[in-house]
Amino acid sequence: MTTPTPSRMAENRTTLLVLDAEPLPRLGRLTGRVRIEHADESTLASLLPSADVLLVWDFASHAVRRAWPGEGPRPRWVHTASAGVDHLMCPELAASDTVVTNARGVFDQPIAEYVAALVLAMAKDLPRTWELQRAREWRHRESQRVAGTRACVVGSGPIGRAIVTTLEALGITTALVGRTPRAGVHGPEELDRLIARADWVVSAAPLTEETYGMFDARRFGVMQPSARFVNVGRGQLVVEDALARALSTHGIAGAALDVFEHEPLGPESPLWEVPGLIVSPHMSGDTIGWREELGTQFVELYERWEAGEPLPNVVDKQRGYVPGH
Other C-beta atoms lying within 10 Å of the C-beta of residue 297: 20
Catalytic residue among 38, 282, 291, 319: 282
Gyration radius of the chain's alpha carbons: 22
Catalytic residue at 263?
Answer: yes
Catalytic residue at 250?
Answer: no
**DSSP-derived 3-state class of residue 137:** coil
Other C-beta atoms lying within 10 Å of the C-beta of residue 79: 26
Catalytic residue among 186, 234, 240, 325: 234
Catalytic residue among 131, 210, 263, 309: 263
Q: Which of 243, 245, 246, 242 is nearest to 257 (CA)?
A: 243
- 3-state SS of 214-246 is CECHHHHHHCCCCCEEEECCCHHHECHHHHHHH
Torsion of CA 227, 283, 206, 42, to 10 degrees: 140
Catalytic residue at 234?
Answer: yes
43 CB-contact burial (10 Å; exposed 0-12 / middle 13-18 / buried 19+): middle
Catalytic residues: 234, 263, 282
